[in-house]
Structure 1
Amino acid sequence: MFVGDILRTNRAPAVTIGSSETVSIAANLMYASNVGALVVRNVSRSVDAAVVGMFSERDVVAVIAERGTGGLAAKVAQFISPRPLVSCTSQHSLTEVEHMMGRHDVRHIPVIDNGRLVGVVSMRDISLAFEEADCAA
Structure 2
Amino acid sequence: MKVEHILRTKESRVVAVRTSATVAEAVKLMKAENISALIVKDVCRTEGNTLAGVLSERDVVHALLERGGSLLSMPVSQLMTRQPVTCTPSDSVQQALQLMDKHHIRHLPVLEDGHLVGVVSARDFTRLHLQELEGTVASVAEPPPATTSYTH
Q: Normalized against structure 1, the TM-score is what?
A: 0.88
Partner of 1:40: 40
Identity level (%): 38
In the TM superposition, what whole-angstrom CA distance separates every residue of 1:71-91 from its partner, at most 9, and x where no partner exists? 100111111234x32111111
Tell me the number of residue pairs that the alignment of Structure 1 and Structure 2 aligns: 134
C-alpha contact (below 8 Å) 1:63/1:72 kept by paired residues:
no
Match of 1:134 in 2: 133
Misfit runs of 4+, over 4 Å: none
Which residue does the alignment assign to 2:147?
none
RMSD: 1.8
> Structure 2 regions of 5+ residues with no counterpart?
137-152
State the distance in 2 between where 1:93 and 1:20 align.
34
Instruction: Find the aligned partners of 1:34 and 1:64 in 2 and give their Cα distance.
Output: 20
**Which residue of structure 2 lines up, in the alignment, with residue 102 of structure 1?**
101
1:53 is matched with 53
Describe the superposition over 1:41-75 as per-residue Cα deviations: whole angstroms up to 9, x where unpaired: 1257xx92210211011112122222221110011
Amino acid at match of 2:57: E
Look up the match of 1:6. Answer: 6
Report the TM-score when normalising by structure 2. 0.80
Flag the structure with larger Rg.
2
Q: By how many angstroms is 1:12 displaced?
A: 4.4
Q: Distance in 2 between matches of 1:57 and 1:49?
A: 23
Q: Deviation of residue 3 (structure 1)?
A: 1.4
Contact 1:20 1:43 in 2 (8 A): no
Shift of 1:97: 0.4
Highest relative contact order (Cα 8 Å, sep 6+), 1 or 2? 1
Amino acid of the residue matched to residue 36 of structure 1?
S
User: What aligned pairs does 1:50-89 form with structure 2 within 5 A after superposition?
Assistant: 50-82=50-82, 84-89=83-88
Residue type of the partner of 1:108?
H
Matched residues in 2 for 1:26 and 1:92: separation? 29
* Partner Cα separation in structure 1 for residue 38 and residue 14 of structure 2: 7
Distance (whole Å) between structure 1 residues aligned to residue 84 and residue 70 of structure 2: 27
Contact preservation (8 Å) 1:17, 1:40 = yes
Retained in 1: the 8 A contact 2:14–2:118?
yes
Structure 1, unmatched stretches of 5+, are none
Shift of 1:101: 0.5
How far, CA to CA, are the matches of 2:123 and 2:93 in structure 1?
Answer: 11
